[in-house]
């Protein structure tokens, strides 16, 4: 891998280095046969892993958005307070006023 970066750093547009050959040379570093890897990639069928059920897809996307929001709130404490804590506090305050008003009218 280091050899590739060194060759890129010393790139000469006039040189006749075969870039495809370099890619195959670096892929053999991990002791994987490139033909086996190509065969596995060619045998992969995207339709076999595609989610067709619309409700399942909806809940996967919904859960991903919830997790994204939670990770964002983990970094942003002020946003958590303003978007979650304060609205809950206002709703609880409104409900308590309704309860007090209901008790007074009796």
Looking at the fold, whether 28 and 71 belong to one and the same domain comes out as no
Looking at the fold, whether 57 and 82 belong to one and the same domain comes out as yes
Looking at the fold, whether 22 and 39 belong to one and the same domain comes out as yes
Contact between 27 and 37 (Cβ < 8 Å)? yes
pLDDT confidence band for 92 (50 / 70 / 90)? very high
Looking at the fold, whether 31 and 65 belong to one and the same domain comes out as no
Contact between 79 and 72 (Cβ < 8 Å)? yes
Looking at the fold, whether 38 and 78 belong to one and the same domain comes out as no
Model confidence, pTM: 0.36
Expressed as residue numbers, the domain containing 87 is: 51-105
State residue 64's pLDDT score: 96
Give Cβ neighbours of residue 4 (< 8 Å, ≥ 6 apart): 22, 26
Segment 19-44 shows an average pLDDT of 60
Looking at the fold, whether 10 and 40 belong to one and the same domain comes out as yes
State residue 13's pLDDT score: 58
Window from 21-35, 62-76, 87-101 with minimum mean pLDDT = 21-35
Looking at the fold, whether 27 and 63 belong to one and the same domain comes out as no
- Counting the structural domains of the chain, the total is 2
């Amino acid at each position: 891998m280091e050899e590739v970066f060194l060759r890129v750093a010393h790139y000469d547009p006039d040189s006749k280095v075969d870039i495809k050959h370099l890619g195959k040379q670096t892929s053999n570093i991990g002791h994987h046969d490139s033909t086996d890897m190509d065969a596995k990639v060619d045998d992969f069928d995207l339709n076999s892993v595609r989610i067709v059920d619309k409700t399942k897809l909806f809940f996967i996307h919904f859960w991903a958005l919830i997790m994204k929001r939670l990770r964002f709130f983990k970094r942003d404490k002020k946003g958590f307070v303003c978007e979650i804590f304060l609205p809950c506090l206002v709703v609880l305050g409104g409900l308590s006023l309704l309860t007090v008003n209901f008790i007074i009218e009796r």
